[in-house]
């Protein structure tokens, strides 16, 4: 299958490959996968506790070119957004940006799922943190 | 099918492939179970299925239709295709289960990640990391891969025996609701199996390389 130029660009020069400390309370980790093709995607984001803005995002994806490009683009889209804004990111935006063909739409869905999973993990950590901290007057 | 009549003689056929009155070939059903004359069970006797396949193959042999009308020849071609596809699908327990799932309106194959057990994802991720290390020439990863292979194979065996038990429960289910609940479970196990099979294949490929 022919990949679009943008997919090839992200595939050959993936942005933000790597990992963040998953034990950091300001880091959220999302791990998702697609059984049909054996893809697995790990996406992490780090929120600045002062500003509430996502200041870093990393990913590591094993899978086809479209899955790698989708997660690479997703990390770029995350940076500079608040958590609430990040939740608004839809897979259709990834499909459009990368011109993904219909058979590869599930790759963009996977990236959206990874964002949601990472944010859910971050929120879980934050509420656990708040519950364990004494209320200051 | 019950109400159908023979295209040739007009007598009721009761869904039979060959008219009970005039023995002309009828338009074949596309339902594999019905085509083979089997109830929709997930456990099938492979020997019985094979016998049915051979018997139908003889009955549908092209030589028998050389002097037939175009209609009947057309039906014989359709029936042969259904015979071969159906045999391939029903012979294998996994494709058979997937077939029944689709027949009952479950989607198969395009699952989202929420269907995948999280611990399995971690496993896949770690395996892929090890595979990558091996590719860049780190030989210590080989031992890790051999361990993974053993683990994945036993996972696969475990999943297969789970499926076997679910097949029995499906075949014994008393009503549609409980049958559907078991199919839902089977769908989950099949997802898991697909993932594990990918892992086994991947590890075996790398170890053979
Ligand atoms: Zn007849």
Instruction: Give yes or no for B118 touching A (CB within 8 A).
Output: yes
**CA–CA gap between residue B197 and residue B156 (Å, rounded):** 7
> Over the Cα atoms of chain A, what is R_g?
15
- Of the candidates A8, A20, A34, A37, the residue annotated as catalytic is A37
Q: Which residues of A touch B118 (CB under 8 A)?
A: 31
CB atoms within 10 A of CB B12: 14
Domain boundaries, chain A: 5-124
- Model confidence over B154-192: pLDDT tens digits? 989 999 999 999 999 999 998 999 999 999 999 988 888
**CA–CA gap between residue B13 and residue B22 (Å, rounded):** 10
Residue B124: predicted pLDDT: 79
Q: In this complex, which of B111, B128, B192 lies closest to A40 when CB atoms are compared?
A: B128
Asked if residue B108 lies in contact with residue B102, where contact means CB atoms within 8 angstroms, the answer is yes
So what's the architecture of A5-124 in CATH? Alpha-Beta Complex (3.90)
- Model confidence over B118-168: pLDDT tens digits? 777 887 788 788 778 777 777 777 887 888 888 888 989 999 999 999 999
- Model confidence over B189-203: pLDDT tens digits? 888 888 788 778 888
Residue B201: predicted pLDDT: 85
A64 is catalytic: no
**CA–CA gap between residue A46 and residue A126 (Å, rounded):** 12
DSSP reduced 3-state for A71: helix
- Of the candidates A43, A47, A77, A107, the residue annotated as catalytic is A107
Least confident piece of the model among A92-101, B50-59, B83-92, B193-202:
B193-202
Q: Which residues of B touch A31 (CB under 8 A)?
A: 118, 121-122, 125
Q: Of B177, B167, B42, B193, whose CA–CA distance to B115 is shortest?
A: B193
Q: Of B153, B157, B159, whose CA–CA distance to B201 is shortest?
A: B153
Residue A131: predicted pLDDT: 85
Tell me, yes or no, if the pTM score tops 0.90: no
- Model confidence over B22-80: pLDDT tens digits? 999 999 999 999 999 999 999 999 999 999 999 999 999 988 999 999 999 999 999 99
Count CA within 13 A, CB hemisphere, residue A49.
Answer: 8
Quick one: tokens of B2? 């019950």
Q: At what angle do helices A5-12 and A91-98 cross, to 10 degrees?
A: 100
- Model confidence over A36-64: pLDDT tens digits? 566 889 999 999 999 999 999 999 999 88
């Amino acid at each position: 299958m022919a990949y679009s130029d943008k997919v090839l660009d992200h595939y050959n020069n993936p942005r933000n490959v790597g990992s963040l400390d998953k034990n950091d309370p300001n880091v959220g980790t999302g791990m998702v996968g697609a059984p049909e093709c054996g893809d697995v995607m790990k996406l992490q984001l780090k929120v600045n506790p002062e500003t509430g803005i996502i200041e870093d995002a990393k990913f590591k994806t094993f899978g086809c070119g479209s899955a790698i490009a989708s997660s690479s683009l997703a990390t770029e889209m995350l940076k500079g957004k608040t958590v609430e804004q990040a939740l608004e990111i839809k897979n259709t935006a990834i499909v459009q940006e990368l011109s993904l063909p219909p058979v590869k739409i599930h790759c963009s869905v996977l990236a959206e799922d990874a964002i949601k999973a990472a944010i859910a993990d971050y929120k879980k950590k934050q509420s656990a943190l708040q519950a364990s901290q004494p209320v200051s007057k | 099918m019950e109400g159908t009549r023979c295209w040739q003689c007009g007598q009721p056929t009761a869904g039979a492939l060959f008219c009970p009155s005039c023995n002309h070939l009828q338009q074949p059903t596309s339902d594999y179970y019905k085509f083979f004359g089997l109830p929709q069970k997930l456990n099938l006797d492979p020997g019985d299925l094979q016998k049915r396949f051979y018997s139908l193959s003889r009955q549908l042999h092209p030589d028998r239709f050389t002097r037939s009308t175009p209609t009947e020849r057309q039906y014989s071609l359709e029936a042969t295709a259904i015979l071969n596809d159906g045999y391939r699908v029903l012979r294998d327990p996994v494709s058979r289960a997937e077939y029944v799932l689709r027949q009952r309106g479950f989607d198969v194959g395009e699952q989202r990640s929420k269907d995948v057990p999280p611990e399995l994802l971690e496993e896949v991720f770690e395996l892929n990391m090890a595979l990558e290390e091996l590719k860049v020439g780190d030989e210590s990863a080989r031992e890790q891969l051999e361990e993974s292979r053993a683990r994945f194979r036993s996972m696969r065996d475990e999943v297969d025996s789970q499926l076997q038990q679910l097949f029995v429960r499906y075949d014994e289910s008393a009503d549609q609701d409980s049958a559907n609940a078991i199919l839902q479970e089977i769908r989950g196990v099949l997802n898991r199996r697909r993932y594990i099979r990918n892992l086994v294949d991947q590890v075996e490929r790398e170890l053979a390389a």
